[in-house]
């Protein structure tokens, strides 16, 4: 049915490649390209069957990307490199009139700030070129955004209160590790908290608001209000929302390490001089921390991510909780990666499938909640991320 170019051979790229390779009727030709070609080759070898072609590319370099796209001629580029590369890859897609999908919004390297404004600014150019950009098609953003769209479409007349809850109850046996790229992860969780209420953004100190929440099959876990990128597009696309928040669980041990890392300056993003050369502390830290892609082997337990929603249906107040639980061990058996890479890579594959099947295909730049959620929801059940619904339960939210 179609040709895809995957950019980025990390944990998420590994899952995307595995899942696409297993669907030859949808993904007829697949190329995996990344900064380090040997990593692409290792993934391709593991998948076998000559399903995956590989290439080297520096995704910060638009001419290199353009050349690769012109040579391979994909129908869609799936960006699972880092958020820093979103704009260069979108530029190359524009130049070659190729559609685009990613899982994380653009972040400038020298400023720990993620916002959709840079990517939304491509709206007219993508529209005029007749190509599609699907933004934020991982789990959160991604599945959580589609869960919200599905709830609004099928279970509510109006949604008023949205709480996205993200629990990782897994144990990887390391004193400290991040579940996806450490640089991106630490930048995300150490910034100030922010949520939407009564038509405006409200800020908190980092991790200031927290409480125990009960997760299905897991139990109570301390959950911290943090800012997360899907809130920005969801409040825009669902204007009936009076409040939208995001909660993530962290263990005490993780938070203690994080505090020390920050206090000693290792989370810094400004270059410093070390032995005559410039280094960026957080990039050096990444080099000494465990590689998230290697955590899978000993990872036990599961993740539970979902949306807790309150609103009105047929004039009556109702509550609704939709979630997926994903086992680290099961994810590892299937793809050799832990559940955080798995829960991101599977939706990216499904989004690409939606595009190639013509179900999520329209000129312009869109967040995933702007498409029909139904075929995507069906595919989640089919391809490894089954979801569950609870109606009129206590959402534990005031
Ligand atoms: P990794 O760090 O494991 O992988 C990133 C890959 O991108 C690496 O292979 C890296 O190459 C490659 N890369 C980095 N810079 C360049 C470049 N300039 N040119 C070409 N390739 C490059 O990250 P993850 O797989 O954990 O995460 C991938 C993406 O998924 C990130 O954007 C992350 O934010 C996002 N994500 C989204 C989630 C969601 O739910 N929406 C959840 C988790 C992650 P090299 O190997 O040479 O370093």
CATH number of domain containing 168: 3.30.360.10
pLDDT 10s per residue in the chain (398 long)? 899 999 999 999 999 999 999 999 999 999 999 999 999 999 999 999 999 999 999 999 999 999 999 999 999 999 999 999 999 999 999 999 999 999 999 998 887 778 999 999 999 999 999 999 999 999 999 999 999 999 999 999 999 999 999 999 999 999 999 988 888 888 888 889 999 999 999 999 999 999 999 999 999 999 999 999 999 999 999 999 999 999 999 999 999 999 899 999 999 999 999 999 999 999 999 999 998 878 888 999 999 999 999 999 999 999 999 999 999 999 999 999 999 999 999 999 999 999 999 999 999 999 999 999 999 999 999 999 999 999 999 999 98
Same domain, 55 and 201: no
Q: Residue 122: inside a domain, yes or no? A: yes
Cα–Cα separations (whole angstroms), residue 388 to 322, 342, 381: 6, 18, 10
Q: What domain count does the chain have?
A: 2
Q: Residue 231: inside a domain, yes or no? A: yes
* Nearest atom, ligand 1, residue 184 CA: 34
Cα-Cα end-to-end distance for the chain = 48
Q: Residue 116: inside a domain, yes or no? A: yes
Instruction: Out of 5, 9, 10, give the residue to mutate to test ligand 1, the one with the largest number of ligand atoms within 8 Å of its CB.
Output: 10
User: Whole-prediction pTM value?
Assistant: 0.96
* Distance from residue 11's CA to the centre of ligand 1 (Å): 7
Residue 82 Cβ contacting ligand 1 at under 6 Å = yes
Residue 178 Cβ contacting ligand 1 at under 6 Å = no
Residue with CA nearest ligand 1 atom 13: 81
Same domain, 251 and 276: yes
Cβ of 312: how many Cβ atoms within 10 Å? Answer: 14
Residue 138 Cβ contacting ligand 1 at under 6 Å = yes
- Domain termination site, one of 135, 162, 189: 135
Residue 8 Cβ contacting ligand 1 at under 6 Å = yes
* Nearest atom, ligand 1, residue 13 CA: 25
Query: Can you tell me the distance from the alpha carbon of 227 to that of 90, in angstroms, rounded to the nearest whole number?
Result: 25
Query: Can you tell me the distance from the alpha carbon of 306 to that of 323, in angstroms, rounded to the nearest whole number?
Result: 4
> Does residue 203 sit in helix, strand or coil?
strand
Residue 389 Cβ contacting ligand 1 at under 6 Å = no
């Amino acid at each position: 049915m179609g040709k895809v170019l995957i950019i980025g051979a990390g944990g998420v790229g590994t899952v995307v490649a595995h899942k696409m390779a297993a669907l030859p009727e949808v993904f007829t030709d697949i190329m995996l390209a990344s900064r380090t070609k040997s990593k692409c080759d290792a993934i391709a070898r593991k998948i076998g069957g000559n399903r995956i072609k590989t290439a080297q590319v520096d995704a910060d370099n638009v001419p290199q990307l353009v050349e690769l796209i012109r040579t391979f001629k994909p129908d869609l580029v799936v960006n699972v490199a880092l958020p820093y590369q979103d704009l260069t890859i979108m530029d190359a897609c524009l130049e070659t009139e190729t559609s685009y999908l990613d899982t994380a919004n653009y972040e400038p390297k020298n400023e720990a700030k993620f916002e959709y404004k840079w990517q939304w600014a491509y709206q007219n150019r993508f529209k005029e070129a007749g190509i599609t950009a699907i933004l934020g098609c991982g789990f959160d953003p991604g599945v959580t955004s589609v869960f919200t769209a599905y709830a609004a479409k099928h279970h509510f007349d109006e949604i008023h209160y949205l709480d996205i809850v993200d629990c990782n109850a897994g144990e990887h046996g390391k004193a400290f590790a991040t579940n996806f790229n450490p640089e991106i992860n630490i930048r995300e969780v150490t910034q100030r908290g922010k949520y939407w209420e009564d038509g405006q953004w409200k800020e908190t100190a980092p991790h200031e608001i927290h409480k125990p929440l009960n997760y299905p099959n897991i139990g109570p876990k301390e959950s911290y209000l943090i800012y997360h990128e899907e809130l920005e597009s969801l409040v825009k696309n669902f204007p009936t929302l009076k409040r939208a928040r995001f909660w993530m669980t962290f263990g005490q041990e993780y938070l203690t390490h994080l505090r020390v890392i920050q206090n000693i300056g290792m989370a810094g993003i400004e270059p410093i001089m070390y032995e005559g050369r410039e280094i960026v502390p957080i990039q050096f830290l990444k080099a000494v921390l465990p590689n998230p892609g290697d955590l899978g082997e000993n990872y036990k337990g599961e993740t539970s991510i979902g949306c807790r929603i309150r609103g009105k249906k047929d004039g009556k107040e109702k509550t609704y909780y939709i979630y997926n639980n994903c086992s680290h061990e099961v994810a590892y058996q299937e793809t050799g990666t832990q559940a955080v890479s798995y829960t991101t890579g599977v939706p990216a594959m499904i989004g690409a499938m939606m595009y190639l099947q013509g179900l999520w295909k329209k000129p312009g730049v869109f967040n995933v909640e702007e498409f029909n959620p139904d075929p995507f929801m069906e595919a989640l059940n089919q391809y490894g991320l089954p979801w569950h619904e609870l109606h009129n339960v206590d959402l534990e939210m005031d």
